[in-house]
Amino acid sequence: MNKKDPNPIDAFVGSRVRMRRLMIGLSQEKLADGLGITFQQVQKYEKGTNRIGASRLQAIADILGVHPSFFFQQDEGSAQSGKPAADVHESQEISSFVASKEGIALNRAFLKITDPVLRKKIISLVAAMAQTPEAEQTPAQSGSRHAGSLHG
């Protein structure tokens, strides 16, 4: 690790701050105002270039409406869980996407779909387009319905 590279833990915590901030629709400026700092400082926190002290992390948690432990929560993809490095990397990629504007928009829209059958068909469609293994699992799950019809 280069001296100028952010510490991976600082970067992870920062990415969780960004994800939560975007989830609730709060701008960097509004978060900065609530903390009494500049939005540039918030940018540095979110990138992991500046570490977030304990009291500042508590203040961020209060503003974002979460417990401070939220910023350290990781899926089962941690290195200590015994998963291969490729799985850990994929988990980090997923976290980065979910924290992006596109990921949040996609998740918000998907959560508004209440029909579980339609949700499965959307996943099948996207998996087929991406040519992932999930695409091979879904035709049998659709039963006698035509796989091409999204509305059943």
Give pLDDT tens digits for 72-116: 887 544 444 455 556 556 666 777 787 788 888 888 888 899 999
Q: Provide the CB-side half-sphere exposure for 75 (13 A, CA).
A: 13
Q: Which of 37, 50, 15, 22 is nearest to 108 (CA)?
A: 22
Residue for token pair 């920062």:
14
Token pair in block for residue 33: 């105002």
Q: Which of 152, 151, 149, 125 is nearest to 138 (CA)?
A: 125
Q: What is the model's pTM?
A: 0.58
Name residues whose C-beta falls within 8 Å of residue 105's C-beta, 6 or more positions apart in sequence: none
**pLDDT tens per residue, range 8-41:** 889 889 989 998 998 888 999 999 999 999 999 9
